[in-house]
């Protein structure tokens, strides 16, 4: 098995349980040649919205025809944020000296000058809107292919209903990846909603593929009692069922910053592991992070489902339930980042449960290193 390709099954293996201590604690790097979800679609409109994408100050807005625009949020002339200016048709005008730029970043007006210096411009970034997110490509525009935007179609697929929120996390995006690629923490943080003891006791499988930049962590918990949230959701579809369930969590990471988690429970022994989910309920937890700085990120998420799709009540309950769970994670992530900052030189130690997160970091590091060549 090569280092960057292969499949491994992680079980109770006393020999492998300790990967080497990594020196990735402070890892805050990210590739520039990547699509990052800078904002939810509803956050961008006919106004100037400042964000940071891969650490870069960017201003977002929509043209008159609705297409999103991403410009460097710093006037060429004196560095003032364009977000303090105003929209004029499809152009943005700096609020200080009135220099105006087109959506392509070209200067279209200079005060007190008849001619415009052709070098006067701000950088324009490739933008694509997909799956309800506004994706920005901070790297080489020639490489920006919207076909490589991670698949998060559950967020706007007619067969699914989805809703979500944005969290401004005061922790580096890789710490959020670690969090999502090992869900055993649900047992300890989220005890009242989705945690159950089976999580940390059950086997899981980790696969990775360096060519596509993907890692998958699969965990099945068979014949268990459903935790509170899942018990309620299963009862929506099967009001009379009281028995045990087969529960699944299939975590799919796409480098550098997207994780879609296929989750659900079905009546125990009805064939869910083999592919028949008709006797269960299925959801997708959609997560994608935009690194805003070495120690902060925008965390955009949604929860999608394929049952009771006409119930706004369940949409609201699920969105607010997940928001409560993620607020518990957010507090822990912020504390973890603060502890890392206060402890320079410390290395993380790894357990079996960290296999997914370790592979994700390796794939990200490989992307960053390729850019440096």
**Shortest distance (Å) from residue 60 CB to its own copies:** 17
At 24, list the tokens: 């990735």
Rule CB under 8 A: is residue 79 a binding residue for its own copies? yes
- In sequence order, which residues have a C-beta less than 8 Å from that of residue 158 and are 6 or more positions away? none
Rule CB under 8 A: is residue 271 a binding residue for its own copies? no
**Shortest distance (Å) from residue 310 CB to its own copies:** 38
Among 32, 80, 87, 323, binds its own copies (CB under 8 A): 80
Rule CB under 8 A: is residue 20 a binding residue for its own copies? no
Cβ closest to its own copies, residue 311 vs residue 350: 350
Rule CB under 8 A: is residue 25 a binding residue for its own copies? yes
State the SS3 of 28-78. Answer: CCCCCCCCEEEEEHHHCCCCCEEEEECCEEEEEEECCCCCEEEEECCCCCC
Across 49-160, the runs of DSSP E, i.e. the strands, are 49-53, 56-62, 68-72, 86-88, 91-93, 100-101, 107-109, 127-130, 133-136
Rule CB under 8 A: is residue 93 a binding residue for its own copies? yes
What is the spatial order of strands in the sheet that 49-53 belongs to? 49-53, 56-62, 68-72
Rule CB under 8 A: is residue 267 a binding residue for its own copies? no
At 16, list the tokens: 């492998």
Q: How many CB atoms lie within 10 A of CB 259?
A: 25
At 119, list the tokens: 């070098």
**Shortest distance (Å) from residue 70 CB to its own copies:** 17
Q: Which stretch binds its own copies (CB under 8 A): 123-131, 135-143, 242-250, 344-352?
A: 344-352
Binding mask 185-214 for its own copies (x = CB under 8 A): x-xxx----------xxx-x----------
Cβ closest to its own copies, residue 97 vs residue 106: 97
Q: How many CB atoms lie within 10 A of CB 154?
A: 23
Distance of CA 316 to the CA centre of its chain: 21
Applying CB under 8 A, the residues found at the interface with its own copies are: 12, 14, 17-18, 25, 57, 74, 76-81, 84, 93-99, 110-115, 117, 119-120, 178, 182, 184-185, 187-189, 200-202, 204, 331-332, 335-336, 339-340, 342-343, 346, 348-353
């Amino acid at each position: 098995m090569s280092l960057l390709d292969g499949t491994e099954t992680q079980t109770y293996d006393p020999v492998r349980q300790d990967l080497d201590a990594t020196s990735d604690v402070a890892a805050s790097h990210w590739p520039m040649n990547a699509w990052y979800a800078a904002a939810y679609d509803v956050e961008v409109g006919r106004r100037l919205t400042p964000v940071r994408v891969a650490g870069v100050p960017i201003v977002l807005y929509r043209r008159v025809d609705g297409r999103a625009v991403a410009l460097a949020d710093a006037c060429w002339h004196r560095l003032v944020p364009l977000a303090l200016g105003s929209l004029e048709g499809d152009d943005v005008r700096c609020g200080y000296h009135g220099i105006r730029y087109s959506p392509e970043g070209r200067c279209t007006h200079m005060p007190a000058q008849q001619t415009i210096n052709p070098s006067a411009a701000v950088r324009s970034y490739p933008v694509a809107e997909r799956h309800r997110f506004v994706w920005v490509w901070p790297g080489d525009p020639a490489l920006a292919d919207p076909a490589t935007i991670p698949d998060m179609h559950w967020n706007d697929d007619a067969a699914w209903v989805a809703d979500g929120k944005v969290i401004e996390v005061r922790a580096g995006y890789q710490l959020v990846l670690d969090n999502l690629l090992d869900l055993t923490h649900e047992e300890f943080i989220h005890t009242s909603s989705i945690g159950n003891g089976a999580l940390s006791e059950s086997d899981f499988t980790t696969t990775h593929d360096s060519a596509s930049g993907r890692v998958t962590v699969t965990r099945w918990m068979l014949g268990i009692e459903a935790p509170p949230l899942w018990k309620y959701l299963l009862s929506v579809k099967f009001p009379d069922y009281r028995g045990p369930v087969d529960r699944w969590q299939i975590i799919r990471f796409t480098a550098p910053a997207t994780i879609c988690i296929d989750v659900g429970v079905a009546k125990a022994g009805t064939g869910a592991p083999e592919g028949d989910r008709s006797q269960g309920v299925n959801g997708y937890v959609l997560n994608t992070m935009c690194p805003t700085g070495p120690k902060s990120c925008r965390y955009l998420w949604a929860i999608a489902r394929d049952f009771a799709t006409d119930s706004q009540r369940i949409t609201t309950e699920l969105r607010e339930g997940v928001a409560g769970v993620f607020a518990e994670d957010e507090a822990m992530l912020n504390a973890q980042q603060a502890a890392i900052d206060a402890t320079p030189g410390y290395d993380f130690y790894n357990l079996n449960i960290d296999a997914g997160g370790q592979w994700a970091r390796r794939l990200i590091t490989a992307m960053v290193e390729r850019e440096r060549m």
